[in-house]
Structure 1
Amino acid sequence: MAPAAITLAAEAPKLSAANTGFMLICSALVLIMTPGLAFFYGGMVRVKSTLNMLMMSFISIGIVTILWVLYGFSMAFGTDSGGIIGWNSDWLGLSNIGLTELWPGYTIPIFVFLVFQMMFAIITPALISGALADRVKFTAWALFVALWATVVYFPVAHWVWGAGGWAFELGVIDFAGGTAVHINAGAAALGVILVIGKRVGFKKDPMRPHSLPLVMLGAGLLWFGWFGFNAGSWLGNDDGVGALMFVNTQVATAAAMLAWLIYEKIRHGAFTTLGAASGAVAGLVAITPSGGAVSPLGAIAVGAIAGVLCAMAVGLKYKLGYDDSLDVVGVHLVGGVVGSLLVGLFASGHGQSTVEGLFYGGGMTQFWKQCAGVFAVLAYSLVASAILAFLIDKTIGMRVSEDVEVAGIDSAEHAETAYDFSGAGGGAARTTAVPAPVADTGKKVDA
């Protein structure tokens, strides 16, 4: 008779109600990040583009959800083919998956895993939209989302997280999406803006955020939802790594916000609310790939480094002449690169794996693996996204006309405006005259 320990080790995982419930909550938290992103971006644009910015995020929920059900999940997590793409015909339309069939090696149903990953697929193209504010046709954007998810996101997700994916097999560490989500989206944003060009009035007209309270609200929702994004990526395993990731998410975000504000005060002389919100997002981005591998002290270092470097990077668009409207390149691309590469320096060997970075005696081996993953995803997404934008631009046209851009994309593309200024103060909105008050003389007045 085999020893009890061996017998238990050989037992297949069983469905865990606790882990299943936890992962469903995490999925909902990740979904709320997309409306949070919509508010974050929506507050950063001018009044005339607010609704368009909100809709560019919301339409991603609709399009990517349907594609994920039809074939996206199969492409990302199906049986590997050459380390490049997955495929499982039984998963097309999700019609041949048992309700209690478990995700291999885990205690949650496949349906729970696929809906959690669906939320990642939804927010990734939405991140790109911030770079394109004020100037893209809504139909062209919707087509781009569908094509980009199919050609770029689904394959890259397989590279990084799919069993057999080349980056996965190489040992590239990406806990929750530094490469697959943030570098992927940031590089795509750069590729598209190099094709479609600058906004009318770039570097000439004031293009300040119209509502910093909306920006702060959006950043708060992102910070809140990111705990599901990061801690949930350990899929409910009861070994403490998910809890470590939760702590590191908070720690790195706080450190990045403070570092950004300190840099901003030294460089520009003020602590701004936009800087606080942007610094927090930079920290969230940077800890996403690294948080399961570093200690809380390492998370402070990751966040602080990302906060400063991302704050420095957002000014590059003015020096290099590319119009990244809402700093997707400066925050998501740079933050994703920083967080992914720092794994090779700060991995402690006591988190998601025994891998140790340079500062913990592990040498440069993991750093070079991280470089391979980072620059492969960056190059592929940049080139593929530019090609998709070019093809769309040459067929249905990617940009609105100059007149529409100047007048306001909300009215032209959505037949609505974000705010009804005619009702300001209440009285101006009345449609009928109100008679002047009559003094009470005690006499009868005819109506």
Structure 2
Amino acid sequence: MLERLFQLSERGTTVRTEVLAGLTTFLTMAYIVLVNPAILGQADMPVAGVAAATCLAAAVGCFLMGLLANYPIALAPGMGLNAYFAFTVVGAMGVPWQTALGLVFISGVAFLVLTFAGVRQLIVNAIPRSLFAAIAAGIGLFIAFIGLRSAGIVTANPGTLVGLGDIRSPTALLAILGLVIVAALQVLKVRGGILIGIVVTALLGWALGLAQWNPQPYSVEAMTSTAFQLDIPAALGIGGHGFGLALLEILFVFLFVDLFDNVGTLVAVSKRAGLMAPDGSIPRLNRILVADASATVVGSLAGTSTVVSYIESASGVSVGGRTGLTAVVVGLLFLATLFVAPWAQLVPAAATAPALILVGAMMMAPLAEIDWEDPVVGVPAFLTLVTIPLTFSIANGLAFGVLAYAALKLVARRTTPGDWLLYALAALFLARFAYMSAG
């Protein structure tokens, strides 16, 4: 049955490999079970309800991605969009969290409409193929930076923005030891080396007393406290709540950021897994987009912010995940975590950080595909590569790359009639930066 559903042998993988990949991906992104409730709790949302909604939305998204699209990509409420939801929409603008959830629901429905109309696919296909490798590598740097930061190896520095942390601290030393273990296992070509490295490092962390565990059990009533609390009439501006154009601006941000963050993640993971077609297109793209849009709708009903594809999926791909079975395994683990969310912090950040750093290193390989001698290709690729980690945003990196590519192609007189959507995207990115500056 699994062979028929996921074409395992056709993609050169096995059930064991896919399960290992799913476990690895889950371990590297399980932090969202703790982080998302902490962030949305700042918007006065019930923390227990958000924790349950986070697990449920992630599980549904992973199941849809695995069974509908057959891709090893995991989904969960997105970092960045949850902060925008809590601190900007609810905190600064004063929009009730129920109304904000209504806007998330509307954005998910809009995603579905745009997907079925073929608009989202056109946008993805309009992105120059020369930027795909830069996006993949840029997200690799992004992943590695997240890992270095969570390990305490890289920290904020008022003089130089970032600097070297205290590498003599127990957390940093544990992460460095974990990196050595994971890298050694990879060199020895040990199957599931990343997962084994995470587990060994976590055990060492527990033995050294570095894991903090303060479980907060909650009741079924508390777990369902955010379910179906969204206010769609208020999000549509019905009833005169006084928010006016602000609601349209919020909806625009939800749509825009989610679309391009998903595109960047999709390109990076698909490229790493070798699932892209020879012409650079992504097979079954329509199903992939339907999966993430549907997960956002479910998430809003359960009580959480926008659901997106996770860049941490690359960790599972790196240990051999090639089919939707990887995503289904992640979904099952999130579903199990729904009832034991307080135990999600069993694995300390110092244990998952080495996996993120090593996966980031592996994702540098596509840079060899870029024609660096051609400025029309090389300059946009470089801007994409550096702005993703330095601005902490996949969308920003994609924006700089597309704008530079469109401008340089125009200067070089290499435009074609088929480039109209590329220039439309460039105009949208300009409008996005103008909106961000005005805000």
What is the TM-score of this pair, normalised by structure 1?
A: 0.31
Please tell me whether Structure 1 or Structure 2 has the larger radius of gyration of its CA atoms.
Answer: 1
Q: Which has the higher contact order (CA 8 A, sep 6+)?
A: 2
What is the TM-score of this pair, normalised by structure 2?
A: 0.31
